[in-house]
Structure 1
Amino acid sequence: MVKATSDFVLRPFEGLPGEPDWVALKEVVPAGTATARTTKEYGAKEVVVTTALPQAWPALHRSDGVILLALQTVGHSGDSSRDLAAALLEAIDAEPGSAIEQAGLPGPGPRLQDVLDLSVPFEVTVRDTFSYWLAEDVERTADLTAAIEEADASLIDTRKVEAVESGYWCRMGAREFLRWARAEDEQAVLDGLARLHARRASGFDGGKFVGYFRSSGLVVPVWELPRGTEAEDLEAPLAAFAPLLDEAVASTEPLDANERRARAGLVARQVTLR
């Protein structure tokens, strides 16, 4: 059903395959891509969903015909899904080699949930460079090379952790973190974290729970890791910890007094790690 208003939508990516990874590409991953496809009604076009594009373009119809849609851009309505769908459809209609500039508030129209084929899985590839911005047959001029190198210089080393869905290791200076976007309802995740924190079990072997942040209606818990921890070091500990967190989040038992105190303390643990 096409949404005809720009009312605020708390979870704009709800209903899309891989909702937490949409949030991760929007908030956590510096450079990354995933492939989507529009429905037959919208041309069955392959789409490369990316974290960012040059000059904060929302979309690009590359010279080789590839459509790129950026998530780390400025939205204009209260519904990021509507904003992105508007940019995507504009890019599809544009000539190859055209960038879509920032526009104003989009009018009534379809959302991503209406435009994309929801049977296509959303699988993220973390990138070490933004060189994918350019088609392979584009000549790398000095200016283009310099622009990509400048963008690459700002990248935070990030890797996807294979042991869990939507978990991302990153290195910021001399510190390492795990940021794990959760698919469940926000209140359920906070209750689950409180249950574990009350019994001092919110960390895992090699990971200390330090807080969380919210994005697009989902909760992204954050763990600080021992100095020098690499992404591959997390596979075994997270495989062991994930069922405990899943069980705590899925529980519908009322919080006891200790758990309620722990949950109240979580408010002070909202963090910004970007």
Structure 2
Amino acid sequence: MGKGAGAKQARRARRSAVAEDGINPRQACPCGSGKRYKACHGAPGGVTEIAVARPFEGLAGECELVALREFVPSATVKLQLAKDAKRPVTLGTVLPLASAALVRQDEDESAFVGLQVQTRSLDISRDVARSILWAQEAKPGDVLSLVNQDDEVGERLQDVLVADAPFEVEVHEDFAWWLAPDAEPTGEVALSLERANAAIMPTQRIGDAAYWTLAGDKAYLRWVRPEPEEQLLNALSRLGAAGTLNLGEGSKFAGSFRAHGLLVPVWDLDAESHSREWEKPVAELGERLADALEDKPLTSDERRVRDGLIGRQVTIR
């Protein structure tokens, strides 16, 4: 056998090979980077650690946590801790100076932990849990700028929260909740508050993990869905083929993105309509989606719609 034939066979073997961990090198990397496995975690000498694909899986608030982490500007949730707590803890989207956690110098010694923070590990669930545990031991006035990352072992949100507890989100128009009642911001905190308030986009929660946002002269609905991606894509395809994927007049399906293991469909909305006008259409679309989550093959029209939906997907952390 000549060298040319041998080289061809070797290339063919490499193309069909499956990595030791069971991942085809030509498939998308499970880390969510959008690259093929062979160009990402499967590359020789490449990244060896894989980020947790669904860091909030198993929590009743998984979809809400994804929304608060990725695109809701100002919101808080009072957390229900699984163990006796020294002080109450509130989860916030962003804290002053993008801190990971802080303890107020007020009567209750209220503790706050941030979700939109710089992380050192590949598991945001573990980082936020560490912030919660830090807040139980910190002194009033203490601020945690960045989560200490000594190792990859430690409790996660699934360990420190009541997993099935209601996750009640309160959306705010600004970041006044950073401050204790009657407190006046000073120094860097005052500057950070001013900048944060100036950059905030009007946002309203109009359904479970469904958020309306006004960005300049455009309005959007972003809806974090809990279903497995393939099942949800098929349901969206069925609605798209039937012409019922929109939210009524003044709306258009724009596409979807992946975040922390979940799919987030997005709709363009009429910016002239008040956010509350979309509550009923969202609820009705939710009912149509529930009916479309059936386990049967797609028709040829539905497959064509599905191909178009896939072409409009992106992945973010």
TM-score, normalised by the number of residues in structure 2: 0.77
Instruction: Give the corresponding residue for 2:275.
Output: 231
Which of 30, 50, 72 is the aligned partner of 2:92? 50
1:37 partner SS = coil
Alignment-mate amino acid for residue 215 of structure 1: A
Larger relative contact order (C-alpha < 8 A, sep ≥ 6)?
1
The separation in 2 between residues aligned to 1:74 and 1:147, in whole angstroms, is 16
Which of 25, 29, 33 is the aligned partner of 2:76? 33
Aligned CA-pair RMSD: 2.1
Structure number with larger C-alpha Rg: 2
Instruction: Work out whether residues 97 and 189 of structure 2, in 8 Å CA contact, stay in contact via their aligned partners in 1.
Output: no
Q: Which runs of 5+ in 2 are unaligned?
A: 1-48
Instruction: Work out whether residues 229 and 263 of structure 2, in 8 Å CA contact, stay in contact via their aligned partners in 1.
Output: yes
Which of 126, 131, 136 is the aligned partner of 1:92? 136
Instruction: Give the corresponding residue for 1:3.
Output: none
Instruction: Work out whether residues 7 and 77 of structure 1, in 8 Å CA contact, stay in contact via their aligned partners in 2.
Output: no
Alignment-mate amino acid for residue 268 of structure 2: E
After superposition, the C-alpha distances for 1:43-78 in whole angstroms (9 at most, x for unaligned) are 264221111112221111222211111111122222
2:311 partner SS = helix
Moved over 4 A (4+): none
Shift of the alpha carbon at 1:25?
0.7
Instruction: Work out whether residues 37 and 45 of structure 1, in 8 Å CA contact, stay in contact via their aligned partners in 2.
Output: no
Which of 50, 62, 76 is the aligned partner of 2:104? 62
2:79 partner SS = strand
Instruction: Work out whether residues 49 and 69 of structure 1, in 8 Å CA contact, stay in contact via their aligned partners in 2.
Output: yes
The separation in 1 between residues aligned to 2:145 and 2:280, in whole angstroms, is 44
Shift of the alpha carbon at 1:38?
1.6
Number of residue equivalences: 264
Instruction: Work out whether residues 31 and 52 of structure 1, in 8 Å CA contact, stay in contact via their aligned partners in 2.
Output: yes
The separation in 1 between residues aligned to 2:190 and 2:62, in whole angstroms, is 33
Instruction: Give the corresponding residue for 2:149.
Output: 105
Which of 223, 233, 238 is the aligned partner of 1:190? 233
- 1:114 and 2:159 correspond: yes
Instruction: Work out whether residues 127 and 147 of structure 2, in 8 Å CA contact, stay in contact via their aligned partners in 1.
Output: no
- 1:252 and 2:252 correspond: no
- 1:148 and 2:190 correspond: no
Instruction: Give the corresponding residue for 1:79.
Output: 123
Q: Which runs of 5+ in 1 are unaligned?
A: 1-5
TM-score, normalised by the number of residues in structure 1: 0.88
Instruction: Give the corresponding residue for 2:260.
Output: 216
Shift of the alpha carbon at 1:17?
1.9
The separation in 2 between residues aligned to 1:201 and 1:130, in whole angstroms, is 38
The separation in 2 between residues aligned to 1:141 and 1:24, in whole angstroms, is 30
